[in-house]
Amino acid sequence: MKFLVEKLSKCAPRLGILKELHGQPNTTLQTPLVMLHTQGGQVPHITHEVMKLVSKNLHILQIPLVSVYNFKEAMDYFDGAISEFIGDGESICCLTLQDPSNLTQQGFHSKGKVPIWTKNGKVYYDSRTYMDTVQSFKPDMYHLLSDGDTNLSSPQKRLTKAVDNTISFHKECLEIHRNSKNLKNCLVIAPVAGGYSIPHRKNCLDNILLDDQEVGGYLIDGLHNNGPEVEFIPFVEIQPIVEFIIKNVPPSKLRAIQGCWNPLIIIKLVKLGVDVFDTSYCRVLTERSAAMTFPIDITEDITPYEINLRQLRYIDDFQPILNGCQCPACLKYSRGYIHHLLSVQELLGPILIMIHNIHHFLRFFEKIRDCVAKDTLDELESRMEIHFQRYQQEILLPQKEPVVNDNIY
């Protein structure tokens, strides 16, 4: 797999393509793009068959190791890659360490090892055990092992250890990668650690850039500990770090970031030159029964930024989630019906919301690529900022819901 960028630039929006995809030699993927976040190899709430109804295009599946670590033994005996094992052999798979939609527990560090918190408890990975798993899974692209357990409040001692560990993991993992036949055609993405400290980020970059020829891209890691809180991280906090990293990594390489970033932050990150995101934001919204309804095109009706279909106001609402939306959920079901499904805890409720959110998010990224090509990304950002600010004001105000009288006479 190779990444080609249309125009080499530092902190500016850009278009690129991923080509020479495994099993898809005549297909390319355009960037900026969003990977489909999965848990256990499946998009949350959606099967592979349903996902093909949402979008027939080729996508990259983001597979967090924390959700598939127990596949290792079976993969050792399976004659194929992880994409075939999970039943979606046509997709491109990217193996990552943590799940960006779930809060990662802090602490419990061990020298030369990184903990992941699975359903069965804590599991430690060092460079050898991690790369052994990567070789068994045979992904199309993967992140090198890193210590990303940092955030805005991390002390200097933690930042230093995170950088030292990441540099050590980087060198050890690449040494194993060089000698692996299974990973010969994999795209390697190197994480850049260091929290919110420019000196620590510089130290990390100075060391990992020595192996730039063997790396296909860079991950901006260590800005947060994943989970829903990422949605509301102010852009002014992350901007200096993102700008510093992008200015100092080769412009010909892929730039990736993980997390449940809201659409406004995504636009701002694209303007800085970030190429790859994920759909963990869709899962976070779905878990709180919220559906994206912000307008993408200027011709669309003005609608709320998002709606929460558990609210009683939708009990007799027979409109689709979003008028004009062509997703399977909006074409066949109403807000009122989905509200009923959520009220009785029927599994179909989250499924329909997730279908809509994924469809809307993919449309949003199509619009971003179109705006970058036409140099109109500033206009999209201005419209999105208005909607997001209005949404933030609404969630700070007390919500007035109809009173339901449950008294029995």
314 secondary structure, DSSP code: G
* CB 278 within 8 Å of CB 100: yes
* Annotated binding residues: 325, 327, 330, 356
| C-alpha span between 195 and 232 (Å, rounded) | 17
Q: For residues 371, 373, 375 and 380, what is the CA-based torsion angle, rounded to 10 degrees?
A: 10
Question: Quick one: which of 273, 264, 254, 281 has its CA closest to 354?
Answer: 281
| C-alpha span between 339 and 309 (Å, rounded) | 5
Question: Quick one: which of 277, 203, 194 has its CA closest to 240?
Answer: 194
Question: Quick one: which of 259, 268, 314, 316 has its CA closest to 291?
Answer: 314
Query: How far apart, in Å, do the first and last CA atoms of the chain sit?
Result: 69
Residue type, 345: Q
* Annotated binding residues for Zn(2+): 325, 327, 330, 356
Q: For residues 130, 132, 133 and 138, what is the CA-based torsion angle, rounded to 10 degrees?
A: 120
| C-alpha span between 231 and 105 (Å, rounded) | 18
Residue-level length of the chain:
409
